[in-house]
Amino acid sequence: MYQLRQQKQNVYFSKMKKIFILTGEPSGDKLASKVITKLKRSKSDIEYLSVGGEHLKALGIKSIYDLKEVTYLGFTKVLLNIFKIKKKINETVDQIIKFNPDILFSLENSACLFASVTPNTFTPDCILVS
């Protein structure tokens, strides 16, 4: 059983060409960098794009904007910046659709849930880590 599952997993990863990494905060950026470092060792031909911070940047992964632009702590900060946050969400969705990833790797946010219910968009395979 384990071998069969491993074979299916290997076939899946052999077809994977693009991953969009969506981190919600610096801890997600750090965790994503650890996962991607290991993935790069086994499969170096994957194209990455992200909303990330310094850790992903250190791996050479381009971010569509700096994570600091969308990290707000506390209800009041979120409320005061709600229109800016909505604009960034829309920009992010547009960039994800344009990039057309095989996997949306989302850490420390609910982007996979958002992507799966957003009308008129595609839904790539989604890995949610929270």
The pLDDT value recorded for residue 113 is: 46
For residue 23, the cross-strand partners are 107
The pLDDT value recorded for residue 59 is: 96
The pLDDT value recorded for residue 2 is: 47
Classify the C-alpha dihedral 2-41-101-24 as positive or negative.
positive
- Edge-to-edge strand order for the sheet containing 47-51? 47-51, 18-23, 103-107, 125-129
pLDDT in tens, 62-104: 999 988 888 888 889 888 988 998 898 889 989 999 999 988 8
Q: How far apart are CA 67 and CA 25, in angstroms?
A: 7
The pLDDT value recorded for residue 126 is: 59
DSSP line for 59-95: TT--BSS-GGGG---SHHHHHHTHHHHHHHHHHHHHH
Structure confidence at residue 6 as a pLDDT band (50, 70, 90): low
H helices of 18-67, where?
A: 26-42, 54-58
Average pLDDT over residues 8-13: 54
The pLDDT value recorded for residue 60 is: 95
pLDDT in tens, 27-66: 889 999 999 999 898 888 899 999 999 999 999 999 999 8
Q: Lowest mean pLDDT: which of 91-95, 107-111, 122-126?
A: 122-126
For residue 51, the cross-strand partners are 22
120 pLDDT above the threshold of 70: no
The pLDDT value recorded for residue 28 is: 86
> Is the CATH number of domain 16-129 3.40.50?
yes
pTM, entire model: 0.74
